[in-house]
Amino acid sequence: MLAPSRLMATARIVPLPIAARVANLLLQQVLANHPKLFDRLGEYGNARFAFVPTDFAFSFSIRPLDRSVRIVRQGRILRADATITGPLVLMLALAEGRVDGDALFFARKLLVSGDMEAVLALRNALDDNEIDLVRSLGKLAGPMSRSATRILDAIRHEALEAQGVQWN
């Protein structure tokens, strides 16, 4: 099995345009499955949300109104109204609504800065949907989707276990 740490290390050699294309494809796949995902954001639909993984080669920002993701190499500054920083797997699990965001925040596993009301609006929007990023990413593998989904699910499970986090 490809351990989460090896996967993270492998991401460092991925060219930025390829990583950006995969991130945008994943976002479009999620939006195709959940077209009303950002509807509950109200005035915060125009906000820019940055996600800065502490253990991954890339950082991301999303502006829901644009329905696109911007990606930069780790260490580069992303302009944002609100920023969430922490291990990638925790941010992904939070996006899927599979972990208790408050517990992660108060345990200092995730750092949130900027417009807290925007972050709460985003969290509420995400909680209303049953997002499965592994399934969405697996679909991008075409005829290999079932195998890719199983592998990614095992990696997700192992990575969450390594963080000491339980699924909701």
Q: What is the CATH number of the domain that holds 51?
A: 3.30.1050.10
Q: Tell me how far apart the alpha carbons of residues 6 and 11 are, in angstroms, rounded to a whole number.
A: 9
Q: How many domains does the chain have?
A: 1
Domain that holds residue 137: 4-162
Question: Does any domain span residue 62?
Answer: yes
Q: Residue 153: what pLDDT?
A: 84
Q: Tell me how far apart the alpha carbons of residues 21 and 37 are, in angstroms, rounded to a whole number.
A: 21
Q: Are 7 and 54 in contact (CB under 8 A)?
A: no
Record the pTM: 0.84
Q: Are 44 and 62 in contact (CB under 8 A)?
A: no
**pLDDT tens, residue order, the chain (168 aa):** 445 566 667 778 889 999 999 899 889 988 888 888 888 888 999 999 999 999 889 999 999 999 989 999 988 988 999 999 999 888 888 888 778 777 888 888 899 999 999 998 988 888 777 888 888 888 888 899 899 889 888 888 888 888 877 665
Q: Tell me how far apart the alpha carbons of residues 76 and 12 are, in angstroms, rounded to a whole number.
A: 14
Half-sphere exposure of 136 (CA within 13 A, CB side): 20
Question: Does any domain span residue 22?
Answer: yes
Q: Residue 8: what pLDDT?
A: 66
Q: Residue 1: what pLDDT?
A: 46
Q: Residue 166: what pLDDT?
A: 66
Q: Residue 168: what pLDDT?
A: 59
- Strand duo 68-73 + 58-63: pairing: antiparallel
Question: Does any domain span residue 167?
Answer: no
Q: In terms of C-beta density within 10 A (0-12 exposed, 13-18 middle, 19 or more buried), how is residue 102 classed?
A: exposed
Question: Does any domain span residue 168?
Answer: no
Alpha-helix residue ranges (DSSP H) falling in the chain: 4-11, 16-33, 88-95, 101-106, 116-127, 133-139, 145-162
Question: Does any domain span residue 114?
Answer: yes
Q: Residue 17: what pLDDT?
A: 92
